[in-house]
Amino acid sequence: MAWISSAEAIRQLGVRPQTLYAYVSRGRLEARPDPEDPRRSLYSAEDIERLASRRSGPKRAAEIARASIAWGEPVLTSKLTVIAEGRLCYRGVDAIDLSQTATLEAAAAHFWAADYAPRPGMPPVTDGPLKARLFTALATRAGTDPHARGRSRAMLATDAATVLETLVDAATGGTGDGPIHKRLGAAWALDPDGADLVRRALILMLDHELNASTFSARVAASTGASLSACALAGLSTLSGPLHGAAVNGVLAFLSEARLLGAGVAVSARLDEGRALPGFGHPLYPGGDPRATELLAHFEVPEKLADILSAVANESGEYPNVDFAIGAMAQRFALPTDAAFSVFAIGRSIGWLGHAMEQIETGSLIRPRARYAGEMLDSAAWP
C-alpha cells in the first residue's frame, strides 16, 4: 500500500487539515505514523483517491461522459467487435481473415452466433433511386413489424436475416437466389472479380464497434423497437456526410483531382486547411487495414494511384476504407449510390447484431444532458 504526507493528502482532497483528521477519526481514511518522523502521520493513497473521486463525483462524471462521446473511453460492454493494435475482429475472428473466403451470409451467422435463416419477405421495393429504395424498404417493415421485447434469440436472428434480405432485395430491385454478393453483382453488371470484391467489402464493412450508426441502432433497440426499426435508425444515421455518406465526399475529391491533377488538388486542399476525404482514421494511425485489404484485390486506376502518391508525399496520411470503396466504385463503374449501398448492407449486419445484444440486456439507454443555459424567473415570462 502506498502512503502520502498530510500536505499531499490535503492538496489532493482540497480540504482543510481539520477535515482530514475527521476522515481518520470516522474510519474513512487510514493513517499511520511516519517511520522517519513519528510526530507526523502518513495517509493511505488508495483511501485518498477514493475520497477524492467521491468529492468530485458529478464533475468528474460529466468530464468522463463528455470525453467518451468523441472517440473516447468505452461506454458499454459488448462481445461483438474489438479494434486493437490496428486489427478489426468480429467475435474474436480477424475481419481480414473472415473476408478471404466467407460469404456475407456466413459472416452474418458468425456475428449473430445464430443460423442464417430468413423467412419469406415482402415484395421488393423497385421504384425510385437506389438509396431511396433502401430507406423505403426498411420504413415499410418498421411500420408493421412487431417490437422486439419478449422474442426469443432464435426468432430475433430470423428477424435479422429477414431484414437483411429486405435491404438486398431493395438494392437489386427484385428477389433472387444465391449468395448476396452474386445477386448484387448481377444487378450491377459486375464480372466475377467485381462481385467477389463486393463480397470482401461487405464483410469488411460489417461492423466497426460503437460508431454513430451502431449506437443509434442500439438506442432504438434499448426501447424494444423492432429490428427493422433499429436498422432504419442505423441507416438514417449512416446517411450523414460525416459517416456513410462520406464516400460521396471521396468521390467529389477524386473528380477534383482528375480535373486539376492529383498534386495540385491535394496541395490546394492542404493550403486551404481543408480535409482530404478518404484519408486518415483516428482508430488506425498506422493505416486502415480494411482499405489495405480491398485495394490489394484490384488494380487501382492510374489517376487514383496518383492521388495515393500525392497524399503520401504531401501529408503522410494513409487511405481509409471510404477511399477504397470510392476507388472500387470508379474501377467497376458501379451505379450511383452503389458505394453507399455496400456500406449500408454490410453495416446492417452490425446494427442488427448490436440491436440483439442490447435487447438481451433489457436496459434502456437514456443518458442525461448537462444543462448549459440560463434559468429565467417565471415571473418574467409574458
Pick the catalytic residue from 169, 288, 306, 322. Answer: 322
Annotated catalytic residue 322? yes
Q: Rounded to whole angstroms, how far apart are CA atoms 53 and 57?
A: 6
Pick the catalytic residue from 110, 181, 243, 281. Answer: 281
Phi, psi of 33 (to 5 degrees): -65, 145
Q: What are 93's three cell numbers?
A: 475472428
The beta-carbon contacts of 194-199 under 8 Å, at least 24 apart in sequence, are: 194/332, 196/297, 197/294, 197/297, 197/298, 197/328, 197/332, 198/342, 199/99, 199/103, 199/104
Amino acid sitting at position 190: L
Q: Rounded to whole angstroms, how far apart are CA atoms 242 and 70?
A: 13
Tracing cell 481480414 back to the chain, one arrives at 96
Tracing cell 481514511 back to the chain, one arrives at 29
Annotated catalytic residue 281? yes
DSSP-derived secondary structure letter, 205: T
CA 263 from chain centre, in angstroms, equals: 32
Q: What are 124's three cell numbers?
A: 421488393
Write the CA distances from 137 to 118, 171, 289, integer angstroms: 16, 10, 32
CA 71 from chain centre, in angstroms, equals: 10
Show which residues are catalytic. Answer: 281, 322
